[in-house]
Amino acid sequence: MSQEKVLIVEDEENERRSPSIVVTDLKMPRMGGLELLERLASDGQTMAVVVVTAQGSIDSAVQAMRMGAYDYITKPIDTDRLRTILQNASTLLGTRVELEVTRRKLRDAGSLGTLVGPSKKMQEIFHLIEMVAPSTASVLITGASGTGKELVARTVHDLSPRRNKPFVPINCAAIPETLIESEIFGHEKGAFTGALERRTGCFELAEGGTLLLDEIGEMPVATQAKLLRVLEDRKLRRLGSKVETTVDVRVLAATNKVPEEAVARGELRNDLYYRLNVFNIHMPPLREHKEDVPELVERLLGEMSEKHGRKVAVVSEAVLNLFHNYSWPGNVRELRNTLERAVIVCDGAVIETRHLPPGFGQTTVRTSPEDPDAVRLGVGTTVEEAERLLILKTLAATSNNKTRAAEILGISLKTLHNKLKEYGSVAADAAAGKDE
């Protein structure tokens, strides 16, 4: 940065210049920062824009990032923080050619990195990933369980200037409430009973890289408040510590819930949702892009054959037809699990219908009133009661396999456990069922 020239302008003189990085206040006499961003975008400018905002105007800063700003900093300006932002922006500008080479390596006609799909829906998602990856913007990835949200996060990381730094995924639904703050923020020795030594949290483990907070809707609300503070101040304090540590981490979040509904139920803080949802990528269920199944099968077969040391090359036409007509309630994860099992039991080079799980395809929705698996609801049945009946019926259909039931229902395993606790003794047998 010491070799860069600094140009200070106080009006629209900047239009006649072509600086690499622009630092602008959101509120200026003649033209605001948001208007400046619009003008730069309309002129096709590719410079990195850093916006300066008052502490109480974070919403405007988030809006600026949605419009293409590289980053923001609050007043009073922390010079160390500003220096870090400018260095990162300079690095980004210097590595754009390298990033384009990486993008072309990862991009194929029907894939982007580990993501596969020539369908229109997936191509649109690839475009969104390519747009947001080079920035520092937070990304909220939504979609049902098994649709590939973590793969999206990894691809965003792999296409970003942070790709050579750590990518740290953490599943908020898999960590007990009593331990989640320690897991994310870290703790000092003696911070609580059992804290026998200092622990580095996920934020510090991801320093310089990317942190994925999967199933963010399962994070306790009190922890969400602390997370919001870290996102806004870029500083954290380990449990039991009085010292704040500056962190440089890009945060991505994922949820299988409808965020707006989670906010309405009080499960997700509105301010945190707004802060994370700078950029949204929604992953569709597999049933909405089944034209991608043949390419997915080809990719997954190769992975599974290598993993298990087999030479399975293709699936039969009959199997492909079954796959096409199946609704895939567990999405791509279910397809992966189905193919992995088939590869293991296959005794040749071609997967036939006999290699599929027993009863495969029988969990599709059937509407016949004589169907013994149908959930019968009378007029006046409450939503809560309908949900309870559906969950218990699905558990029965999967022989109390809660992992499988959760996939079919499109909820996390933790949510299913919580629901069964709510139902009490009625679900005692189901709650004692197997997780796998």
Please compute the mean of the pLDDT values over residues 405-425 and round it to a whole number: 79
One-letter amino acid of 274: Y
**pTM of the entire structure?**
0.69
Q: For 14-28, 275-289, 343-357, which range has the lowest pLDDT when averaged over its residues?
A: 14-28
Tell me the CATH number for domain 12-94.
Answer: 3.40.50.2300
Q: Contact at 8 Å (CB) between 165 and 138?
A: no
pLDDT digits (tens, 9 = 90+) for 395-407: 887 878 888 788 7
Please compute the mean of the pLDDT values over residues 77-95 and round it to a whole number: 78
The whole-number pLDDT of residue 365 equals 43
User: Any idea of the CA torsion for 105, 108, 112, 117, to the nearest 10 degrees?
Assistant: -170
pLDDT digits (tens, 9 = 90+) for 370-379: 445 566 666 5
Q: For 17-26, 159-168, 173-182, 286-295, which range has the lowest pLDDT when averaged over its residues?
A: 17-26
Considering the segment(s) 383-431 as one domain, its CATH architecture is: Orthogonal Bundle (1.10)
Please compute the mean of the pLDDT values over residues 191-215 and round it to a whole number: 88
State the pLDDT confidence band at 302, using cuts at 50, 70 and 90.
Answer: very high
Buried b (16+ CB within 10 A) or exposed e, 19-41: bebbbbebeeeeebbbebbeebe
pLDDT digits (tens, 9 = 90+) for 21-70: 888 887 777 777 788 777 776 665 667 888 888 765 667 777 787 777 87
Q: Contact at 8 Å (CB) between 224 and 272?
A: yes
Alpha-carbon span 21 to 70, nearest angstrom: 9
Domain 106-282: CATH superfamily, name plus number: P-loop containing nucleotide triphosphate hydrolases (3.40.50.300)
Write down the mean pLDDT value for the chain. Answer: 83
Domain chopping of the chain, boundaries: 12-94, 106-282, 286-355, 383-431
* Domain 12-94 shares a fold with domain 106-282: yes
Pick the CATH number of 286-355 from 1.10.8.60, 3.30.1780.10, 3.40.50.11540, 3.40.190.10: 1.10.8.60
**Above 90 in pLDDT, residue 189?**
no
* Residue 209 or residue 83, greater confidence: 209
